[in-house]
Structure 1
């Protein structure tokens, strides 16, 4: 007489025995230890990373390549400076030999200034717009995960990738530029090539462009349209930032020694690396007169003296911003941009509670 055996029960028992044997003999414990030592992404984090892994890996690879290039260029520049005798010898006398390194600065800074725009268009705009357009958002909303968790994971991973990239590039570029920062006046530290690529500025501008692109994508719900509008938004952010950035500093005014009206005067000097703003004549009552329209340099010496005496010019003043204010200006401006970015993120969560899907 045969005995019937339930296949499912038998299989379960075999699986249990294998698990128990593996635990007692050691290999199972080794596997658990290995998993503990090498944590892996799981859940929503894994899903978001896998969905956008091509963009994330591209960003990280480009960061590594650009960092390696800047490290190489700094090594070349330092070799030249050491052979030249810097800082004992003035860099003004090394115009010809130093030009290739200025060209390297220019090529790198051109790419660095475009990073916020590229990240906003290629990462920010499609981050949610693609899910809304192809219906993935509805599928995710039907699962046990909440919309806020999905949105938070998306924004967190994108923000982490952007922050790591921009912080790394900003720090390496500042390290490259720092040896000549106070010694080469032909480099304007207020220009976007240097002011926007060091310190917290690239991080702030990139995060605003990316999260602004995410918001645009959520509103438009079409990937291509969101990318086009985000391009305009990111360019507008750069333009507004460039227009207002000098107002972040405190203007310093240097005044020449007073002279008698009609007497030749010497314009006040400013630090070599300072950003010049304006130069004016000062009359006896303290009023500032425009240099270009008052007693212009094209007049003959006698006519200039007569003009200055008639205008009661007794001195001159120069307005400038010293390079020592660069860091404080950057942090002040970046804090404003960070606040705007926080407002965008808050609005994304507010919008996402009802209208994200």
Structure 2
């Protein structure tokens, strides 16, 4: 004789299948997870895989550094393989905002509008505001968490050689845009833009294509604007510019800005390095030309690595402000004209 001591039908929450896999959610949160679980699990899996690869490659790099020149302030010899791995992986991480906008943002609402799911859901007891906020909040939280983890691990990988190689310029997108707070803000902005485009165009494929173009345009503008967030400093010499005269030495980790090296006069004015270039084949004429211009040394502009975090916070703040504006538009427009 068998006695039933546990009835799954009685203990399972109403409205949720007994064999459901994944987080125990309810209401619209459960619906959003079910709709996009493939994309969410893919994001989680790629994050874990990327972290594992970065931890492994960092271990190889530090082992090589310890075995060659553990006390050196520069990079070990034949280190190009390890720096290439670092920069290549940073380049791959630079595509995260693009993927967030095109693959997650654009189809998020456009797919529901195209298939009629949005009309079905909002015709029930769920308000448009609740549905919109849930649709936005869940992917945004996963994007923020994933990019934060990737940024932290990549920065950890980079930290042993940060500022130690002339080719590892921290102002490059492969470092500046994928460390600290920047990738979080960048990915959230492109995600919000993709959602807004999808809501307006109402067609998944068209929205993805348009979002791709907008995100690329944002990247181009950002690349040109990024360095203007910093405060450019100068270093100069006053020991002449002839043979044997040394040029200014930049601080460790600094990145040279502008055209390069300038001439500096005894009054502190700067001349372009092309001054007297037409007489460079004649040493005496060239020297006389420089003396007539009262040139006494060199001058160079640079951005110190100490400004990196400040610039990233400024950039992230601007992107998050733009994200908030886009989200506000989505909520206001969606509550009134979504269907």
> Given that residues 47 and 146 in structure 2 are in contact (C-alpha distance below 8 angstroms), is that contact kept between their aligned partners in structure 1?
yes
> Given that residues 195 and 201 in structure 1 are in contact (C-alpha distance below 8 angstroms), is that contact kept between their aligned partners in structure 2?
yes
Pick aligned residue for 2:40 from 33, 56, 77: 56
> Given that residues 262 and 312 in structure 1 are in contact (C-alpha distance below 8 angstroms), is that contact kept between their aligned partners in structure 2?
no
> Given that residues 55 and 123 in structure 1 are in contact (C-alpha distance below 8 angstroms), is that contact kept between their aligned partners in structure 2?
yes
How far does residue 82 in structure 1 lie from its aligned partner after superposition?
A: 1.0
> Given that residues 122 and 128 in structure 2 are in contact (C-alpha distance below 8 angstroms), is that contact kept between their aligned partners in structure 1?
yes
Pick aligned residue for 1:277 from 257, 275, 282: 257
How far does residue 296 in structure 1 lie from its aligned partner after superposition?
A: 6.6
CA distance in 2, matches of 1:43, 1:69: 37
* Offset from partner CA, 1:163-186 (integer Å, 9 cap, x none): 011001100000000011032222
User: By percentage of residues, which structure has more helix?
Assistant: 1
CA distance in 1, matches of 2:315, 2:279: 38
Pick aligned residue for 2:113 from 105, 122, 132: 132
How far does residue 147 in structure 1 lie from its aligned partner after superposition?
A: 0.2
How far does residue 258 in structure 1 lie from its aligned partner after superposition?
A: 6.2
Bigger drift between 304-313 and 68-77 goes to 304-313
CA distance in 1, matches of 2:300, 2:232: 10
Pick aligned residue for 1:170 from 139, 151, 160: 151
Highest Rg: 1 or 2?
A: 1
How far does residue 294 in structure 1 lie from its aligned partner after superposition?
A: 3.7
Q: 1:173 to 1:146 in 2, by over 3 A?
A: same
Q: 1:113 to 1:353 in 2, by over 3 A?
A: same
- How high is the TM-score relative to the length of structure 1? 0.85
* Offset from partner CA, 1:73-101 (integer Å, 9 cap, x none): 01111111111132x1354451x2x1221
2:210 aligned with 1:226: no
Name the structure 1 match of 2:247: 267
* Offset from partner CA, 1:175-224 (integer Å, 9 cap, x none): 00001103222211111111111011111111111110000001111111
CA distance in 2, matches of 1:124, 1:167: 18
2:78 aligned with 1:75: no
Pick aligned residue for 2:72 from 89, 93, 96: 89
CA distance in 2, matches of 1:349, 1:314: 62
2:281 aligned with 1:311: no
Q: 1:183 to 1:349 in 2, by over 3 A?
A: same
| Count of aligned pairs between the two proteins | 326
2:233 aligned with 1:252: yes
CA distance in 2, matches of 1:354, 1:113: 36
2:65 aligned with 1:65: no
> Given that residues 262 and 309 in structure 1 are in contact (C-alpha distance below 8 angstroms), is that contact kept between their aligned partners in structure 2?
no
> Given that residues 163 and 170 in structure 2 are in contact (C-alpha distance below 8 angstroms), is that contact kept between their aligned partners in structure 1?
no
CA distance in 2, matches of 1:77, 1:108: 14
> Given that residues 262 and 308 in structure 1 are in contact (C-alpha distance below 8 angstroms), is that contact kept between their aligned partners in structure 2?
no
Q: 1:319 to 1:297 in 2, by over 3 A?
A: farther
Name the structure 2 match of 1:100: 81
Unaligned runs of 5+ in 1: 1-20, 33-37
How far does residue 137 in structure 1 lie from its aligned partner after superposition?
A: 0.9
- How high is the TM-score relative to the length of structure 2? 0.89
How far does residue 301 in structure 1 lie from its aligned partner after superposition?
A: 2.8
Q: 1:329 to 1:249 in 2, by over 3 A?
A: same
Name the structure 1 match of 2:283: 301
Name the structure 1 match of 2:132: 151
CA distance in 2, matches of 1:99, 1:267: 27
CA distance in 2, matches of 1:306, 1:264: 17
Q: 1:264 to 1:77 in 2, by over 3 A?
A: closer
Which runs of structure 2 are paired with 1:309-348 in the superposition (5 Å)? 309-348=291-330
Query: In structure 1, the residue corresponding to 2:126 is in which secondary structure?
Result: coil
Bigger drift between 132-141 and 334-343 goes to 132-141
Q: 1:281 to 1:145 in 2, by over 3 A?
A: same
CA distance in 2, matches of 1:222, 1:85: 57
* Offset from partner CA, 1:285-343 (integer Å, 9 cap, x none): 43321003444794343222111012221232111001111111111111010000000
